[in-house]
Structure 1
Amino acid sequence: MSEQKQSELGFDEIQKILIDRCAPEVQVSDIFSTKVAELLATINHEQLTAKQFEKPKDDRK
């Protein structure tokens, strides 16, 4: 369940996680965290979209 929930994270959730997980003394620039969050959200969306079109495995021989 948590794996599915994680793959459905949107841009805002990813950006919040990135900022929250950085040590307080490390200043993550807004531009960097925004770009990384955009990329991760896009990757997650592409993976979810690709799963819709995967053919079920045929185990028959």
Structure 2
Amino acid sequence: MKSLMKTVLDNDWSGLKQTIESKAASLIKKKVDEKKVDVLSNLNGITREQMEEVMAVTNNDTESGDV
């Protein structure tokens, strides 16, 4: 991926828009995932750290096809 500065200097405005949208989407996804852990931990009555462990195990099992 080209650097942001090079994209601007090349007047590649569609590329700049695409880069910004991509970065915004990844930031939003990260925040949603963090909030999801908080909500699930509250619903299950466990700490955030415990919920992160549960989700890590679940994601690992899902990726390996065990679930």
TM-score, normalized by length of structure 1? Answer: 0.49
Q: Which has the higher helix share?
A: 2
Kindly indicate whether structure 1 or structure 2 has the higher relative contact order, using CA contacts under 8 Å at least 6 residues apart.
1
